[in-house]
Structure 1
Amino acid sequence: AFTVLFVLSGFGNGSTYKMIPAVFAREAEEAITSGAGAPQAFARARRVSGAVIGIAGAVGALGGVAVNLVFRASYQDGGSGDTAFLCFLAFYAL
């Protein structure tokens, strides 16, 4: 069950990464209709979307570290991963 949960959350993660450049491209199009130069607007959109993707990736990497830390604490304190799985279940339920 948890494997399915992680796989489905990965699909959502991929969709988010795909949406980020589209959002900034749309902002560039709006800037162009307001009178901004097209090359500059799209160059800015590429730079900003790249930065946002980088930040999102860094936050995602911290999430991967947190999963390992929770498992480690669960095994050290209780000898099994049950507590970690309950924490993950509570996190995803929110």
Structure 2
Amino acid sequence: MHIEGNIISGEFDENLNEFSLQNVKHFYIASTIRENQFRALYDYLKKHQHNNEGQIITLYDQMPVSLSAEEINLLIQDLEKVQSLYRPENI
């Protein structure tokens, strides 16, 4: 299923229960995010949501991307759309 958000876009694979991130802002990437990684990113952004200075995220652990406070809120909205697609994993 294709997801087109304000900050991110990608494909959610229901069979693998994974989100393949394809675009962050205007950068094209290819990265698969498992549910635990996804939740860690979401939790971090929610915790720092009211930081007026924004945040810097890194793509591929080497390319910094600056996100304004407004972009952080849009990213959180995007993540909430994707988060609802993950099915609970059996432990």
TM-score relative to the length of structure 2: 0.30
Structure ranking higher in helix proportion: 1
Higher relative contact order (CA 8 A, sep 6+): 2
